[in-house]
């Protein structure tokens, strides 16, 4: 199947390894990945910080760039949720009914990585090998907006050699929340501290999630504390073969 990759601006700029992992994983499974170079950003940061007008051109450009593809994959739960839950609504509220219609038509074909693998491609065993102790943090927008449920866990359970351990209070927000982490840094850091404490009780070497922005936040604190736990995107574990 031909799959268009929406890399997301954060992954593109800061976590290119996640994008390379998605490409290698999907190609290994026999699919063709294309990267439409006109893509930039879903507009989530601007919308969620109170700048819907500035987000609108990004909705427009996303819709134009991806409308012709049968399936679009985003290795980020919150960016996929922004597209699916917000793009059409935002366009409609900004007085752009035509764009809203096109965004609404595109939305169901935009998938978070685990949704694409499990629902569209019908695989849970992707042939990955990862002999490490891993704990999984289900990020808020993946769970509460996209409702991806246990799809990432079903994929991780099939990985050879993995020692997958439950994260206590897993559903609790890590405190990232985009610009929330800057505007309310004290509360954000307190939430992160509790998440880090939960991660440490598991004895995991690797903290996994399907969203690099949450991982950047928790991983940044794990790194600051010299905890010895590293943050890894789901795609990178699923792409691993050794």
Nearer to another protein, 49 or 124 (CB): 49
Is there binding between residue 13 and another protein (CB under 8 A)?
yes
CB 110 within 8 A of CB 80: yes
The residue (of 44 and 114) whose beta carbon lies closer to another protein is: 44
Q: Which is nearer to another protein, 115 or 162 (CB)?
A: 115
Instruction: For residue 54, state whether it binds another protein (rule: CB under 8 A).
Output: yes
Residue from 25, 26, 41, 110 binding another protein (CB under 8 A) = 41
- Shortest Å, Cβ 177 to another protein: 3
For 84, 98, 168, 175, the CA distances from 172, given in Å and listed in that order, are 23, 38, 9, 9
39 and 172 Cβ atoms separated by less than 8 Å: no
How far apart are CB 125 and another protein at their closest, in Å?
A: 26
* Cα–Cα distance, 112 to 74 (Å, whole number): 5
Note whether 219 binds another protein by CB under 8 A: yes
* Torsion angles phi and psi, residue 67, rounded to 5: -55, -30
Among 63, 114, 188, 198, the residue binding another protein under the rule CB under 8 A is 188
Close Cβ partners of 147 (under 8 Å, ≥ 6 residues apart): none
């Amino acid at each position: 199947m031909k799959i268009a990759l929406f890399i997301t601006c954060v992954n593109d700029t800061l976590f290119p390894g996640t994008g390379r992992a998605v490409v290698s994983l999907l190609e290994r499974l026999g699919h063709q990945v294309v990267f439409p170079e006109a893509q930039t950003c879903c507009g989530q940061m601007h919308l969620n910080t109170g700048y819907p007008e500035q987000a609108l051109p990004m909705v427009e450009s996303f819709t134009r760039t991806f409308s012709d593809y049968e399936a679009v994959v985003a290795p980020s739960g919150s960016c996929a949720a922004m597209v699916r839950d917000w793009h059409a609504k935002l366009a409609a509220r900004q007085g752009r009914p035509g764009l809203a219609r096109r965004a609404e038509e595109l939305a169901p074909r935009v998938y978070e990585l685990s949704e694409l693998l499990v629902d569209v491609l019908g695989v849970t065993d992707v042939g990955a090998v990862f002999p490490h102790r891993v704990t999984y943090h289900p990020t808020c927008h993946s769970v509460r907006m996209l409702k991806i449920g246990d799809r990432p866990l079903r994929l991780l359970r099939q990985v050879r050699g993995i020692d997958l351990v439950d994260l206590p209070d897993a559903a609790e927000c890590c405190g990232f929340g985009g610009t929330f982490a800057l505007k309310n840094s004290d509360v954000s850091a307190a939430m992160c501290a509790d998440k880090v404490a939960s991660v440490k009780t598991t004895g995991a070497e690797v903290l996994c999630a399907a969203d690099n922005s949450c991982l950047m936040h928790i991983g940044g604190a794990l790194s600051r504390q010299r905890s010895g736990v590293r943050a890894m995107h789901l795609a990178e574990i699923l792409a691993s073969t050794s």
